[in-house]
Amino acid sequence: MVAWLPGALLASRALAQVQDGLNNSTAANVRSRLIESARASWELGTAAEALTEYSWPALSVFERSAFPPPAHLNFSLNATDVLQIAVQTVSTKPANSLPLIANQGSAADPASIGVAVLLANWTRPDPSTAAFDNAASGQLEHLLHDVPRSAEGAISHREDEVQLWADYVYMVPPFIAYYGALQRGNGGRALMQVAYDQCRLYREALRDSSGLWRHVALGTWQDNSHWATGNAWAAAGMLRVLQTLNHSSDADFFTKQQANLTEWIQEITTTAWSYQKSNGALLNVIDAPTSFADTSATALLASVTYRMATLTNDTSLIPVAEKAFAFVKDNIDGQGWLRGTVDPYAFHTPSAPDAHSPEGQAFVLLLVAARSAWKKFISG
């Protein structure tokens, strides 16, 4: 019962709901813990994207300046931390491996580093260096020609059998779309269409009547649950494809595709947040009341929500994003570790008390970047 509260008190309550951002020292700690913990292929790819959006937004697909990137980076726009991931990956890749990291089992995860490798190629100081071009084109060729596909044409998430994971949507289509946007011309347009079609085919296979996506379909085992991180990967991956198409020189060819991607992302955000807990959290299985709260998926889906509000000027989900942001912020400890994550290697158990989620660290930076872009948008 708040009806009796005088106006001034109501106003101060409303103001109290406006969250302060993460201060720079907290964000810097989150970033340091990300860089020291990311090891697995998809963690490195996600870290590269998060570092780009957080520190070098002019190079990220969320800005028109992404295409083409500068041919040479300078002291103040150097992307050193992103390029480090590309250099490390390409210099340790066995010469006979087309995937950017060999023998992963996952056909999708190594490709997540592809955007950083393409940026390293584009901005390389020595034009005679072919290593990044070769590595990126090898990874693309492998995806398009070697990896098994579903009957409908979805490229498998796994090397050894056809199995579709929601995670794939963040690992593969953003790389293929970025590759196409850099190539331009008929070949580049064809690749951007492939990236879109892969999103479409994965949605057709994984989305069910709830409006949410199942985690894993086809193959020797399935995970039919509406895994929060899987839904967030799918929404965030489609968002990167949407922005790549939108900022490419061929955006006009992809009007209908952009409209569909927008709708498919909003389908996930709207449905998922309808299950948001009062403390701002998403549950690890979004619609399973006995599941546990997961800070990582909450962070990634909130980042998508701020980005979508910025693109569409539809603010209806901003209050839930602000609540999610406050929840994530409250779960960052003094060293910059995100607490209360799902164990990213087990999917359905919380992280052990002494363990951390490298992808969760990246999701916090994606959230900080998305929220800053939103703040910038509303302040004109």
Ligand X SMILES: *[C@@H]1O[C@H](CO)[C@@H](O)[C@H](O)[C@H]1NC(C)=O
Angle in degrees, CA 282, 286, 288, rounded to 5: 120
Residue 256 sits in the site that holds ligand X (CB under 6 A): yes
Of 111, 124, 112, nearest in space to 48 by CA? 112
Ramachandran region of residue 23, left (φ > 0), alpha (ψ -120 to 50) or beta?
beta
Smallest CA-to-CA distance from 308 within 257, 373, 215 is with 373
Give residue number: closest CB to ligand X. Answer: 251
DSSP 262-287: HHHHHHHHHHHHTT--TTSPEESBTT
For ligand X, give the closer residue by CB, 137 or 150.
137
User: Is residue 128 part of the contact set for ligand X (CB under 6 A)?
Assistant: no
Judged by CB under 6 A, the residue of 63, 133, 159, 250 near ligand X is 133
Our finding on whether 129 is near ligand X (CB under 6 A) is: no
Site for ligand X in 278-337 (CB under 6 A): 311, 313
Q: Check binding of 78 to ligand X (CB under 6 A).
A: yes
Query: What mask of x and - would describe binding to ligand X in positions 184 to 203, judged by CB under 6 A?
Result: ----------------x---
Which token pair is 286?
A: 């979004």
Kindly state whether residue 270 participates in binding ligand X, applying the rule CB under 6 A.
Answer: no
CA 380 to each of CA 307, 310, 313, 371, 373: distance values in angstroms, whole numbers, following the listed order = 15, 11, 12, 14, 11
* DSSP structural state of residue 294: E
Q: Does 257 bind ligand X (CB under 6 A)?
A: yes
User: Is residue 246 close enough to count as binding ligand X by CB under 6 A?
Assistant: yes
CA distance 345 to 351: 9
Assess 96 for contact with ligand X (CB under 6 A). no
The minimum distance between CB 24 and ligand X, in angstroms, equals 4
Opening angle at CA 89, ends 335 and 160, nearest 5: 105
Site size toward ligand X, by CB under 6 A: 29
| Interacting residue with ligand X among 35, 77, 318, 326 (CB under 6 A) | 77
Quick one: 94 or 127, whose CB is closer to ligand X?
Answer: 127
Phi/psi at 37 (nearest 5 deg)?
-105, -20
Interacting residue ranges for ligand X, rule: CB under 6 A: 23-26, 70, 74-78, 80, 118, 121-122, 133, 136-137, 182, 200, 246, 251-252, 255-258, 260, 311, 313
